[in-house]
Amino acid sequence: MKYSLSMLLCLCLLACEAGPDADNELVTNRGAGKDQWWHALPREAWAGFARVDQSQDWFEVYEVSPDVYAIYEPGQFEEVISYLIAGTDSALLFDTGLGIGDMHKLVRELSNLEIIVLNSHTHYDHIGGNHAFGQVLGMDTSYTRKRALGLEHSQVSAGVAPGWIWKPTPEDFDAESYAIKPFVIDRYVRDGEHIDLGGRKLEVLFTPGHAPDALCVIDRENRLLFTGDTFYPAPLYTHLEGSDFDAYRQTAARLAALSTEVDQLMPGHNEPALRADYLLHLQAAFDEIARGHLDYVVTDGNREYKFGDFSIITR
């Protein structure tokens, strides 16, 4: 989808309000190239997919594969993507976004099926809507249980600060009280578990590294891999609290072995439907960093190693 001229003008005005054309120091710890991040929008990749009508301006929804809906939140820096993956009996909602728009209302407009929520991991930008759903699966880790208690305003206020949002937020949204509501985990998932949605089977793969409870979901029959934050085409984070470089490296090796079994990667940020050979590049990148001879730049006090379309940030 392309924005109209008036929308582009509006976007520009909002962007100018959000900060000067100098460095956007408000978005910290996120690698190089984050300044005026909204200038990268709209990302061309989305133009290749049919946009799906729904009632909230905050979200953009695209059918990125038959019965797979990417729910994109381009108005905030994370540009998070959640996915509704439908079978014939039930649908898996893989992440619930920032909690700025009403994810439950949106999903009800897309599907009448029973909804099962599973998070790619429990960072704030993927669990914002969890509280509104009756069936939430999670990983059996102390990290996950702690995150299910919710996140206070002080823990997430940076995500809605000036410089992080360019798009008007919903009328009933209040940045001053923004927080992540607690949610109940109904059942713990196991590594290798199959989730049968009727006419579509998904397999859960534990992929720790970015976060202790990071996981991917593979749809083998349709050759899709939902990667969450383990891979997307931008700076990848191994430096956050709870991140683990060595675990991430092992995850990269595990996923590289799947590169011939899937055609497309469906990541948790920025754009959908990436080539599967990125998985090989990811493994090679981790291996090169581990060998210790690579050049890096220092961004916000962290090392950032660049590999073309993506980079890896380490402590």
Instruction: Point out which span in 55-63, 120-128, 163-171, 288-296 binds Zn ion (CB under 5 A).
Output: 120-128
- Residues 207-266 binding Zn ion (CB under 5 A) are 229
CA 274 – CA 272 distance, rounded (Å): 6
CA 111 – CA 223 distance, rounded (Å): 23
Residue 78 C-beta: closest distance to Zn ion, Å: 8
Residue 275 C-beta: closest distance to Zn ion, Å: 22
Instruction: Point out which span in 37-45, 107-115, 116-124, 161-169 binds Zn ion (CB under 5 A).
Output: 116-124
Residue 200 C-beta: closest distance to Zn ion, Å: 26
Residue whose CB is less far from Zn ion, 123 or 147: 123
Instruction: Point out which span in 118-126, 186-194, 215-223, 257-265 binds Zn ion (CB under 5 A).
Output: 118-126
Residue 227 C-beta: closest distance to Zn ion, Å: 11
**Which of residues 123, 131, 239, 249 is near Zn ion by CB under 5 A?**
123
Q: Which long-range contacts (CB under 8 A, 24 or more apart) does 133-139 make?
A: 133/93, 133/96, 133/104, 133/183, 135/186, 136/183, 136/184, 136/185, 136/186, 137/185, 137/186, 137/187, 137/188, 137/189, 138/185, 138/187, 138/188, 138/189, 138/213, 139/188, 139/189, 139/206, 139/213, 139/215
Residue 156 C-beta: closest distance to Zn ion, Å: 13
CA 193 – CA 96 distance, rounded (Å): 21
Q: Is 147 in the site for Zn ion (CB under 5 A)?
A: no
Size of the site for Zn ion (CB under 5 A): 2
Which residues contact Zn ion (rule: CB under 5 A)? 123, 229
